[in-house]
């Protein structure tokens, strides 16, 4: 089995701009796992994530000439942004994002510490997977990707206050689920 030499981002970009299949394959192999997890955070479905990645990588290769290298990490950020936007487009096409306006999930007393010790990352992933898609989308964009409410409003074509509300509801959803789980564990 032939091992490929490690390529730096500028080499990958240059190769992709020349439609070099080895550079394209290297880019895919390097970023696939990370982008798969990004897509799963938004879609919570393996097949949908694979569909989104297929479209995303086609878009990445096609638009590489629009990418502006700004130092280490800029390629990864650009690729993640494309995957996020494709995941959101996918959800919108399926009309899967519903921004809930009811207050059924609000919790008045939000705990400041961790319930009974540490929380497993798998547990958090499962909470996010079962969270309503509107909550999950805003939570991912804000808490994980670092977008502002103004940016989220632009991406999702919603009001900034809706973004804030969905984030609050996502947080409360997580708190409610954790409270419920840990109150049953203590009994």
Any idea which fold 121-186 has? Answer: Arc Repressor Mutant, subunit A (1.10.10)
Q: Would you state the pLDDT for residue 167?
A: 94
- State pLDDT tens for residues 125-154: 788 888 998 999 999 999 888 999 999 999
User: Given pLDDT bands bounded at 50, 70 and 90, which one contains residue 32?
Assistant: very high
Q: Please classify residue 49 by burial: count the beta carbons closer than 10 Å to its beta carbon, then call 0-12 exposed, 13-18 middle and 19+ buried.
A: buried
- All CATH 1.10.10.10 domain ranges in the chain, comma separated: 121-186
User: Given pLDDT bands bounded at 50, 70 and 90, which one contains residue 29?
Assistant: very high
Query: How far apart, in whole angstroms, are the C-alpha atoms of residue 165 and residue 101?
Result: 8
Task: Tell whether the model's pLDDT for residue 114 goes beyond 50.
Answer: no
**Other beta carbons less than 10 A from residue 93's beta carbon:** 8
- All CATH 1.10.1740.10 domain ranges in the chain, comma separated: 9-93
Quote the percentage of the chain above a pLDDT of 70. Answer: 82
Query: How far apart, in whole angstroms, are the C-alpha atoms of residue 147 and residue 80?
Result: 13
- State pLDDT tens for residues 34-52: 999 999 999 999 999 999 9
Any idea which fold 9-93 has? Answer: Rna Polymerase Sigma Factor; Chain: A (1.10.1740)
- Mean pLDDT across 87-94: 90
Q: Would you state the pLDDT for residue 83?
A: 97
Q: Would you state the pLDDT for residue 54?
A: 97
Q: Would you state the pLDDT for residue 36?
A: 97
The C-alpha angle with vertex 171 and arms to 44 and 185, in degrees rounded to 5, equals: 85
């Amino acid at each position: 089995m032939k091992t490929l030499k490690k390529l730096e981002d500028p080499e990958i970009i240059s190769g992709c701009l020349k439609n070099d299949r080895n550079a394209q394959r290297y880019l895919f192999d390097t970023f696939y796992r990370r982008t798969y997890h990004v897509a799963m955070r938004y879609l919570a479905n393996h097949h949908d994530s694979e569909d989104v990645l297929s479209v995303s990588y086609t878009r990445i290769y096609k638009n590489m000439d629009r990418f502006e290298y700004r130092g280490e990490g800029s390629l990864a950020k650009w690729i993640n942004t494309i995957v996020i936007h494709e995941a959101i487009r996918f959800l919108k096409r399926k009309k899967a994002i519903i921004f809930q306006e009811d207050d059924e999930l609000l919790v008045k007393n939000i705990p400041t510490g961790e319930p009974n010790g540490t929380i497993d990352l798998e547990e958090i992933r499962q909470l996010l997977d079962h969270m309503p898609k509107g909550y999950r989308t805003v939570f991912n964009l804000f808490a994980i990707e670092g977008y502002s409410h103004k940016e989220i409003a632009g991406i999702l074509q919603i009001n900034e206050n809706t973004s804030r509300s969905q984030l609050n509801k996502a947080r409360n959803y997580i708190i409610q689920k954790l409270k419920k789980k840990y109150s049953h564990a203590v009994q």
